[in-house]
Amino acid sequence: EVQLVESGGGLVQPGRSLRLSCAASGFTFDDYAMHWVRQAPGKGLEWVSGISWNSGSIGYADSVKGRFTISRDNAKNSLYLQMNSLRAEDTALYYCAKAITGVLQDAFDIWGQGTMVTVSS
Amino acid sequence: NFMLTQPHSVSESPGKTVTISCTRSSGSIASNYVQWYQQRPGSSPTTVIYEDNQRPSGVPDRFSGSIDSSSNSASLTISGLKTEDEADYYCQSYDSSNQVFGGGTKLTVL
């Protein structure tokens, strides 16, 4: 079964850091690009960041550029998001999503259940 | 960067057909594929249309997608509406550096 399981969310103070992880199973992880998409409470979907199959191409939303870093470990079938200088507006459910090919510019076909990040003092 | 604009909400009766639009603000709608995602309350999104008009396996043929270059928009059409189709629907596309989601449309089937 194809599965994505996010972890690492929680309550964090403004200005602090958090690292999210996404464990993939049921498919050949290093064949596909991967993304982080977030959803603030009661709001719509917002793309956060994406990484190509070999980490050769990486993209970030303007809202997180310079603060968040995406990475992947193909040997561990895992995707990560290092979030620094967190702000209240980063509060959201963070989804890990698999692309349908290895490049960034493509559709998503599999989504995880999400991990909640709450930034508050 | 471009934006994708969707109606905030639509409603229709069971058995009827509904169409949700998604208008691209700049650049051609045909320049990059458009996808559609369904999100039921309390659940993660799932793909109902990819590459403008392709259905993933398991998605019923009641769901169809299209693009219209004259209006620079994409559309998701759901025919034979069922109560289980009640959900939020998001269009999505991309350019060379970004992925973009529409604001979402709440479909009510009543």
pLDDT of residue B69: 96
Residue B48 per-residue DSSP state: E
Portion of chain A with pLDDT greater than 70, in percent: 100
Please provide the average confidence, as pLDDT, over all residues in chain A.
97
Which of B99, B101, B105 should one mutate to test binding to chain A, selecting the residue with the greatest count of A CBs within 10 A?
Answer: B99
By the CB < 8 Å criterion, does B57 face chain A? Answer: no
Nearest to B101 by CA among A7, A111, A68: A111
What is the DSSP secondary-structure string of A35-84? Answer: EEEEE-TTS-EEEEEEE-TTSS-EEE-TTTTTTEEEEEEGGGTEEEEEE-
Kindly give the confidence (pLDDT) of every residue in chain B, 110 residues in length, as a single tens digit, with 9 standing for 90 and above: 899 999 999 999 999 999 999 999 999 999 999 999 999 999 999 999 999 999 999 999 999 999 999 999 999 999 999 999 999 999 999 988 789 999 999 999 99
pLDDT of residue B97: 78
Q: How sure is the predictor about A19, in pLDDT bands with cuts at 50, 70 and 90?
A: very high
Closest residue to B101, CB basis, from A46, A50, A100: A46
Residue B12: which H helix or E strand, with range? strand B9-12
Enumerate residues 6+ apart whose C-beta is below 8 A from A30.
A53, A54, A74
Portion of chain A with pLDDT greater than 90, in percent: 98
Query: B80 is written with which tokens?
Result: 């034979």
Strand partners, B73: B23, B68
pLDDT of residue B1: 85
Please judge whether A107 and B92 are an interchain contact, meaning their C-beta atoms are less than 8 angstroms apart.
yes
Nearest to A30 by CA among A112, A100, A102: A102
CA distance A8 to chain B (A): 18
pLDDT of residue B28: 95
Nearest to A10 by CA among A91, A97, A112, A111: A91
Q: How many residues does the structure list for chain B?
A: 110
CA distance A35 to chain B (A): 10
Q: Is the pLDDT of residue A11 over 90?
A: yes
Q: Is the pLDDT of residue A63 over 90?
A: yes
- What is the tens place of the pLDDT at every residue in A72-93? 999 999 999 999 999 999 999 9
Contact B74, B29 (CB under 8 A): yes
Average pLDDT over residues A58-67: 96
pLDDT of residue B66: 98
Nearest to A65 by CA among A50, A80, A44: A50
pLDDT of residue B96: 84
